[in-house]
Amino acid sequence: MTFDLTPEQRHRMAELQERVAAELGGIADGRDRANWLRAGRLGLLGLCIPQEYGGAGLGALDTALALEAFGTACPDTGFAFAVAAHLLACSVPIAEFGSDQARKELLPDLVSGAAVAANAMTEEEAGSDSSALAARAEPTEAGFRLTGHKSFASNAPVSDVLVTYAITDPTAGYLGLSAFAVPTGLAGVRLGEPFEKMGLGSCAAGTVGFDGVELPAHYVLGQAGQGAAIFQHSMLWERSCLFAVYLGLMTRQLTETVAHVRGRRQFGQRLSKFQAVSHRVVDMAQRLEQARLMLYRACALIDAGASAERAVAQSKLAVSEAAIANSLDAVQLFGGRGYLAEHGIERQLRDAVPAALFSGTSEVQRELIAQAVGL
């Protein structure tokens, strides 16, 4: 067993870091369409999308490596998150479960950045409990009539396409949920204003309303009743590959922290010479490396077609909690500078906190792991 990346993978990551630093090296607001077009030109929006639609056709591990490079080179984790959510929670299910007509219509623009996608699953009373959805899709002669309200939908305020889920058969339990791709230009789609959030500020998130939206049948993903399976599949990709963005954040953060403690002097010597400081930096490096190995393993299992649910849950839990712990350490090590907005360290902490909430909370991941070990 080897954990070494191939020369091709290392070259691809290094090249992408250079290009991202040149194109998206500052704050890249996701409400600015120019940034989405830049991300499209960099290939970030089509990493794992088939080549026939303009993507690169990469597997899960290579997709994660690219997103890690993106997160390392782009200091705006909010936009990196927005890009990853667009790709993994929206474009992936369309590419894998959409009709031929929907794929041809939607994917080229999603890959180029001409269109932005949002995942609209969460509702006010249905967060971690996806079985409690209130949104309904009633069959019609031409397709479905969609009614409901969604919340906490990343990219929704600027979206052109929504991937959403609604109950089509209230009596069928797990098999009563269906998935849909919904162009936001259809009559009856309402997009709310962006939320004011603690972190990930460059990823606009908001509410979505469906007021009797008449949805043609070719926008159904898979077959009616397959929504739960489609959602779980997309979550495997999101909980693994998306969190590579946080590996990038922690990599950049560790580099900045090492430079700071080596350069700053107190009591006549470098901060790095104090054991209390150096050991805290070691803890940051240790968490990062452990999280990275778990994420790479989870992605490798997905690529191998093996059962990956437990590994993905473990990876998501490890990365999200490492990002929070490392960000707290970075603030402490930077001291007063870490608390000031101008240095960007406090923003890293604010961007890390939601990692333990979205894509299934840390508590949900622990439940999934507990079930996997037989509890």
Q: What is the mean pLDDT of each run of 10 residues along the chain (375 residues)?
A: 86 95 80 92 98 97 98 95 97 98 98 97 79 91 96 96 96 92 98 95 96 97 95 95 98 97 90 94 98 97 95 98 98 95 94 95 96 94
CATH number at residue 360: 1.20.140.10
Count how many domains the chain has: 3
> Same domain, yes or no, for 336 and 291?
yes
> Same domain, yes or no, for 299 and 200?
no
Question: Does residue 2 form part of some domain?
Answer: no
**Domain limits for position 22:** 7-112
Amino acid at 61: L
> Same domain, yes or no, for 22 and 89?
yes
Tell me, what's the pLDDT at 31?
83
Examine the fold and report which residue of 61, 88, 112 is the final residue of a domain before the chain moves on: 112
Q: Write out the DSSP string of 257-275.
A: HHHHHHH-EETTEEGGGSH
Q: Give φ, ψ of 96 to 5 degrees.
A: -95, -25
Tell me, what's the pLDDT at 30?
76
Distance CA 50, CA 242 (A): 18
Question: Does residue 186 form part of some domain?
Answer: yes
Examine the fold and report which residue of 112, 146, 176 is the final residue of a domain before the chain moves on: 112
238 is catalytic: yes
The residue from 68, 123, 238, 346 that is catalytic is 238
Range 299-338 burial, b when 16+ CB lie within 10 A, else e: bbbbeeeeebbbbbbbbbbbbbbbbbebbbbbbebbeeeb
Tell me, what's the pLDDT at 349?
97
* Lookup result for tokens 């240095």: 343
> Same domain, yes or no, for 220 and 296?
no
Question: Does residue 1 form part of some domain?
Answer: no
Tell me, what's the pLDDT at 263?
93
Question: Does residue 79 form part of some domain?
Answer: yes
Tell me, what's the pLDDT at 4?
86
